[in-house]
Amino acid sequence: MSSGATTATRAEYCVVACAEAWRDAGEVLASPMGTVPMIGARLAKLTFSPDLLLTDGEALLIGDVPAVGAEAEVVEGWLPYRQHLALVATGRRHVMMGAGQLDRHGNQNISCIGDWARPERQLLGVRGAPINTLNNPTSYWVPRHSPRVFVERVDMVSGVGYDRAAAAGPSASRYHRIPEVISDLGVFDFETPDRTMRLRSLHPGVTVEQVAEATGFALTVPDEVPYTRQPTAEELRLIREVVDPKGLREREVPA
């Protein structure tokens, strides 16, 4: 590849950041929600997490890695809804969900904006967020980082954060884990003494000040914040030619 061809876009940095959430995951089910996480999970399987389990988005476990939007040619097994729930309950799944709102403790809202009794806007509903967050690793993908999403207090708790899991006791906190939050500005985690959100890396071209202005609460910011890992030339080839040849990632995270 020429040097120009290896220059990654912001969307491609986001893809690699999402893929890293499944690094060396072993034989667990990846449940990516969103275009960029889907590309990231497929990239992870093609590179550093070959044992990762993928589905066709419905009820089949697939053995190959088709391009986004294409049908799989290799089917490994059947994964109906009840069997999917069994995987959730045993922790053999790492889901990457979206978030209408997310607070400093990792509480997520995908239900409604405003008071629950009279919401200003109805969203998806709680869906599987409570069981996801209490039984298997749950990361989050936010394609538009803003104070409307990263809020001081969520209007309704759908996915459980670290503070609420701890308050509920061992039955809630035993398997509760939020490995990463990835946005179009950077990567975040909760590796702090009080389990509140920390800025772990910045995507190239983004500053700490930009992230702070786009976040509705005070983040923990280390003295030195690295940049998100750059995609390798081979990863860029896989993203562009194998997994997402139609460039759908750039629609979710415009250059």
Place of tokens 């009080």: 194
* Residue 124 binned pLDDT confidence (cut-offs 50, 70, 90): confident
Is a pLDDT exceeding 80 seen at residue 1?
no
Q: Which residues contact 71 (CB under 8 A, 6 or more apart)?
A: 56
Largest CA distance in the chain: 57
Cβ-Cβ contacts under 8 Å for 90 (sequence gap 6 or more)? 135
Specify if 3 maps to a domain.
no
Whether the pLDDT of residue 129 is over 80: the answer is yes
Q: Is 21 inside a domain boundary?
A: yes
The pLDDT-based confidence of 131 (bands split at 50, 70, 90) is confident
Is 1 part of a structural domain of the chain?
no
Structure confidence by residue, pLDDT tens digits, 30-56: 999 999 999 999 999 999 999 999 998
Q: pLDDT tens for residues 87-117?
A: 777 888 999 999 999 999 999 999 999 988 8
| pLDDT classification of 2: cutoffs 50, 70, 90 | very low
Q: How far apart are the first and last CA of the chain?
A: 21
Tell me how far the alpha carbon of residue 191 is from its chain's centroid.
17
Q: Please report whether residue 247 resides in a domain.
A: yes
CA 129 to centroid of chain Cα atoms: 13
For residue 70, give the CATH number of its domain.
Answer: 3.40.1080.10
Could you list the residue range(s) of the whole structural domain that residue 81 is in?
A: 10-252
Q: What single-letter DSSP state applies at residue 242?
A: I
Q: Is residue 2 part of a domain?
A: no
Look at the alpha carbons of 68, 92, 104, 97 in this order and tell me if their dihedral is positive or negative. positive
Residue 153 covered by a domain: yes
Write down the pLDDT at residue 6: 61
Give the pLDDT score at 4.
Answer: 39
Q: Do the domain assignments include residue 76?
A: yes
* Alpha-carbon span 138 to 82, nearest angstrom: 19
The mean pLDDT value for 59-77 works out to 92
Count of structural domains, the chain: 1
Q: Between residues 162 and 131, which one has the greater pLDDT?
A: 162
Say if 206 falls within a structural domain. Answer: yes
